[in-house]
Amino acid sequence: MEILSINIPAFSLIFSFIALSLWLLFQQKKGVSPILAILFWFGMGYYVFQTLTSDLTLDNKFFNLSRDLIVIASASFFLSFFKKKTWLFLVLLGGLSYLGVQYYLPITKPEPKSNNSATIEEIDYDQYDAYDEDGELLLDLKSLNHPKLDAVLHQYNLRLKEAFQPEDADITELDDYRIIDLPADQISVFDEIFKRLKATGELDDLEWNEKVQISPVEAQKIKPISPIINANDPDISKQWGLSPMKVGELYTYLKRNNIQPKKKAWIAILDTGVDAKHEDIAVNYKSFRKKYDRDGNRHGTHCAGIAAAVSNNKIGIASFAPTSDFVEVGSIQVLGRSGSGTQAGIIKGIIEAADKGADVISLSLGARSNSSRETAYKKAVDYANEKGAIVIAAAGNSNRNAKDYSPANTKGVITVSAISQTLEKAFFSNTVQDVKMGIAAPGVDIHSTIPNNQYAALSGTSMATPYVAGLVGLMKSIQPNLTTQEVYDLLHSTGIDTKNTTETGKLIQPVEVIKQLK
């Protein structure tokens, strides 16, 4: 159902133009001219007041005022040449007024209902909780001048908030994004609002700001093994994944060939935060914001230990780097204590990590989505790549196709599935055959760090992802200029088959990857 409403500022502007034009036409009529003058100044004053008190940015306010005053002055000046031909003057006035209505007061017709399954334009109101209640919509503006969009915003009393603030705005369009908070009492017209915003033609993209929730998988009880590895960490017998990934051979190769890092690569864990004081993380930890250096959940700390636990310190577990010279780990908190977050929050985290110089961005998170509409993720990944970061994301834990999950389905991301101790796809793991860059790592009963100097075993593609992130960090420390495609090609070409390679991708083999680096 269409809702009839008047965009007051735009209406006032058109009213002022008509009053000014008629004032010019009848300025010799003593009884009419003063009334038309009063109407013009009243309309113009009200328009200026409404614009200055609107929710637009200061730049937009003055841009709109300057543009509209110039338009009114120019159109009225043009009409003044036809004052002696009243009928022609009125025809031209009507035509110009009609154009003004079309430009400033756009009318959109309701789209016919489709018989197909729900699309992005159709909301399942029962799924309202799937969107961020503080900002349900992400908009990518074509330009700062958007009168038709302003008309819709005024109609529904909506506000635009700046979404992202990348440091290098000249290499991305992320600074063009805005967030809209849709009032809950308007839920019945959410679908209509979406269609009206889209119909303005002033947006490059419009998508829902979906919620993200990590879903831990209960760890299985797996018999401990003792991988052959030259490390003194007491819990390596609980790290079964080190054996199929031949981490012992990796340590031997690095030592025997005196492989030295060209830099200390920084791995950013975008998660629930990281316990920066953990005994098996602290030496390898790099802090950027104190509020990120704690973890009220444990998920983020667990991932950080997998990626970059301190090896050979006679404490806890080991990671791919045999010493602390190769990698360091840091935290960008994008999920709360409950493990929930939003798409916009994750994108902000990607931007922040890239701006702080992350070499690797590890995303052990995601949600069911649609690859055709997650353009904001794509722009964030492109931005990170441009800044030199490689983005690794979990495939998801729903035993479905990762192409339907974001950010796993985002182009430019290396997507990680999980395998079990038998080298089979973990029963929960999403498959990666339909994403561009799919790879596999251990993800069942993974023993790692949790807050307060504790350790625990968790399962999920969340656990497989930091294994890949840790290896990519090691690669970037030795060869810092590697691109995402180069990294994936190395991981894929040196990986070994699993029992479900088509669905999982190849299992990473760190020593074989490092051998290929020049």
Report the Cα 235 to chain-centroid distance in Å. 36
* 371, 409 contact by CB (below 8 A): yes
- What gap in Å lies between CA 455 and CA 473, rounded to an integer? 23
Residue 262 has pLDDT above 60, yes or no: yes
Please state which CATH class domain 247-516 belongs to: alpha beta
**Share in percent of the chain as helix, strand, coil (round to 5):** 40, 15, 40
Q: Is it the case that residue 402 has pLDDT exceeding 60? A: yes
Is the distance from CB of 343 to CB of 275 less than 8 angstroms? no
- Max mean pLDDT among 147-151, 338-342, 388-392 falls in 388-392
Give per-residue pLDDT as tens, 459-501.
Answer: 999 999 999 999 999 999 999 999 999 999 999 999 999 999 9
Dig out the tokens for 449 from the structure: 């760090």
DSSP 260-298: --SS-EEEEEEES---TT-TTTGGGB--S-GGGS--SSS
pLDDT for 74 beyond 60: yes
Assess whether 271 carries a catalytic annotation. Answer: yes
Could you give the 3-state DSSP secondary structure of residue 329? strand
**pLDDT given at position 128:** 42
119-172 tens-digit pLDDT: 222 233 334 456 677 788 899 999 988 999 999 998 888 889 999 999 999 999
* Residue found under tokens 């834990």: 397
Tell me the per-residue pLDDT of 348-368, one tens digit each, with 9 for 90 and over: 999 999 999 999 999 999 888
Q: What angle do CA 343, 450, 510 make, to 5 degrees?
A: 80
Q: Which among 69-78, 178-187, 446-455 has the top mean pLDDT?
A: 446-455
The per-residue pLDDT for 118 is: 28
Catalytic-role residue among 271, 280, 295, 359: 271
Question: For the chain, how far is it from start to end, CA to CA, in angstroms?
Answer: 64
Catalytic residue among 146, 154, 278, 299: 299
pLDDT of residue 179: 94
What amino acid occupies position 133?
E
Taking all residues of the chain, what is their mean pLDDT, rounded to a whole number? 85
CATH-assigned architecture of domain 125-209: 2-Layer Sandwich (3.30)
C-alpha dist (Å) from residue 463 to 253, 396, 416: 25, 11, 10
> Above 60 in pLDDT, residue 221?
yes
Interval 258-275 mean pLDDT: 97
Secondary structure of 425-494 in HEC code, one letter for each residue = ECCCCCECCCCCCEEEEECCCEEEEECCCEEEEEECHHHHHHHHHHHHHHHHHHCCCCCHHHHHHHHHHH
Indicate the SS3 state at residue 162.
strand
At 104-114, the pLDDT tens digits run 554 433 333 33
Active site residue 364: no
278 catalytic per annotation = no
CA dist 137 and 114 (Å) reads 22
Residue 31 is predicted with a pLDDT of 73
200 has a pLDDT exceeding 70: yes
pLDDT band of 2, cuts 50, 70, 90: very low
Strand locations in 91-239 (E):
137-141, 160-162, 177-180, 203-208, 211-213
Is the whole model's pTM more than 0.85, yes or no?
no
